[in-house]
Amino acid sequence: MNYCLQYNICGIYLVIMGVMLKIIRTQWSCGSIFSSFHCILFDSRNTVLKLWHRHKGHSKWQNIRHTKMANDIMKQRIFSKLAYRIGVAIRDNKTILQQGHINEIKYLGNNMQTNPHLNRDLEKVLEECQAKNMPKVSVDRAIERAVSKPLQTIHFDAKGPGGSLFIIETLTDRKDYTKSIIQKYFNKVGGFSFADQGIRRFFEQKGVIMVARRFKDVNTNDKRKQASNNSTSYELSLEEAINIAIDVGAEDVTESEDDDGVEMLEFICDPLQTAKVCNALVSRNFQVRSSENEFRSIIRVHLEEKQLEVVEACFKALENVESVAKIFDNIEPSEDVKKKIELGQCTLDKRTFSLSAKDFDLSKLPVVNYTIR
């Protein structure tokens, strides 16, 4: 009996010692492991609780993986947009007859579409591709694809919140697929739907040529140039620009600025005369920044802040659609609308009208020419 009791006590003692050894070993292992991350739970020293802090050198890929993925996605979007713009420039073929290139054009034939010296839009896009470090292989592939498989310009009309109207310009060879992608983002954002072409009556299409206000004229003996050390560069006044607009066949000219704050002049003309007016301006040594046809709203609407947030979210979502080139709308900034109404600059048949989105009903508007002066 005593022997059995001693045996049981020894067994229990051995079991307890084994458990204690396991605990000690676990404590030592955890302390060694977690101490490498500065998060010590058990150690031979006093128990200390520290915040998690991973050294950068422990797993470099884990530290930069998410940042690199985000940068790669953003870079791919930029390259896709640039490739799209290359296709637009080649398709539109807005060739500028520059001095010294007239004889060259006679022998180039169809190749002048891809010659950046003759296609100003293509030259501008290629310069931006170089600035964005777009690989030459991608640029060549975009040019080859644009030449071998021309894309079509397709416009989709849409309605948004508060009576806002939109014309979405795309360049694609798959109309139904592009429309389904846009519809997906409409459903995601909410408040947008496709509309028929009846909304086109609230827009007018115009040719818009943007030129730098300061230009060089080598064929005139302007007194201002003689007074400025025979400089061939000077800034054109609005009155002079209006006279030039009449000479080149433009309907109107307005003052503007580009994204960098450089003063520009907008020559507005009939959309069928855009190339003609553009060539006439180039022959006068104007620096043409862009030449394109746009839809300009005849009447604008004022949206509430929440409605503007929805529109902004939709615009941001459509940035993911590579084939979307431009979006034209009829939205008026609230401050500008109030100022124009106060000054009496918003007129409709000589009557002041309100551009409040609540009162804007397409079915009640007559088909007349609305003007905002």
What per-residue confidence (pLDDT) applies to 221? 46
Dihedral of CA atoms 110, 91, 76, 210 in degrees, nearest 10, equals 110
- The string of DSSP codes covering 53-87 is ---TTT-HHHHHHHHHHHHHHHHHHHHHHHHHHHH
Asked if the model's pLDDT at residue 19 lies above 80, the reply is no
What per-residue confidence (pLDDT) applies to 292? 84
Where along the chain do the CATH 1.10.10 domains lie? 63-148
Asked if the model's pLDDT at residue 168 lies above 90, the reply is yes
What per-residue confidence (pLDDT) applies to 12? 74
Between 297 and 75, the higher pLDDT residue: 297
Between 361 and 177, the higher pLDDT residue: 177
The mean pLDDT value for 62-80 works out to: 65
Q: Measured between alpha carbons, how far is residue 24 from residues 20, 81, 242 in Å? A: 6, 62, 91
The band of 65, judged by pLDDT with boundaries at 50, 70 and 90, is low
Which residues are bridge partners to 44 per DSSP?
A: none
Asked if the model's pLDDT at residue 45 lies above 80, the reply is no
The band of 155, judged by pLDDT with boundaries at 50, 70 and 90, is very high
Specify the CATH superfamily of domain 205-296. YebC, transcriptional regulation domain (3.30.70.980)
Asked if the model's pLDDT at residue 263 lies above 50, the reply is yes
Long-range pairs, 124-128, Cβ under 8 A, ≥24: 124/89, 124/290, 125/82, 125/85, 125/86, 125/89, 126/86, 128/82
Place of tokens 């021309």: 150
Asked if the model's pLDDT at residue 181 lies above 90, the reply is yes
Residue type, 40: I
End-to-end CA distance of the chain, in Å? Answer: 115
Nearest to 234 by CA among 286, 276, 196, 269: 286
Exposure string for 175-192, b = 16+ CB within 10 A, e = fewer: eeebbebbeebbeebeeb
Between 118 and 174, the higher pLDDT residue: 174
What per-residue confidence (pLDDT) applies to 334? 58
What per-residue confidence (pLDDT) applies to 130? 87
The predicted model scores a pTM of 0.56
Evaluate whether 345 touches 371 at the Cβ level (below 8 Å): no
Dihedral of CA atoms 7, 10, 16, 19 in degrees, nearest 10, equals -80
Kindly state the tokens that stand for 368.
């007349």
The band of 142, judged by pLDDT with boundaries at 50, 70 and 90, is confident
The band of 373, judged by pLDDT with boundaries at 50, 70 and 90, is very low
Nearest to 165 by CA among 185, 192, 204: 192
What per-residue confidence (pLDDT) applies to 81? 74
What per-residue confidence (pLDDT) applies to 204? 93
Identify the top-confidence range among 206-220, 244-258, 324-338: 244-258
Q: Which CATH architecture has domain 63-148?
A: Orthogonal Bundle (1.10)
Strands (E), the chain: 152-159, 165-172, 193-194, 203-212, 214-216, 233-235, 252-257, 263-269, 288-297, 301-302, 324-329, 331-332, 346-348, 351-352, 371-372
Where along the chain do the CATH 3.30.70.980 domains lie? 205-296
Exposed / middle / buried, residue 239 (Cβ in 10 Å: 0-12, 13-18, 19+): exposed
Q: Which of 27-41, 159-173, 228-242, 328-342 has the lowest mean pLDDT?
A: 27-41
Nearest to 121 by CA among 273, 278, 328: 278
The pLDDT tens digits of the residues spanning 287-304 come to 888 888 899 999 889 888
Asked if the model's pLDDT at residue 110 lies above 60, the reply is no
What per-residue confidence (pLDDT) applies to 34? 46
Q: Measured between alpha carbons, how far is residue 325 from residues 9, 163, 220 in Å? A: 86, 23, 39
Crossing angle of helices 274-283/238-248, nearest 10°?
Answer: 120
Exposed / middle / buried, residue 73 (Cβ in 10 Å: 0-12, 13-18, 19+): exposed
How does the average pLDDT of the chain come out, rounded? 70
Asked if the model's pLDDT at residue 306 lies above 80, the reply is yes
The band of 75, judged by pLDDT with boundaries at 50, 70 and 90, is confident
Asked if the model's pLDDT at residue 67 lies above 60, the reply is yes
Q: Which of 110-124, 138-152, 187-201 has the lowest mean pLDDT?
A: 110-124
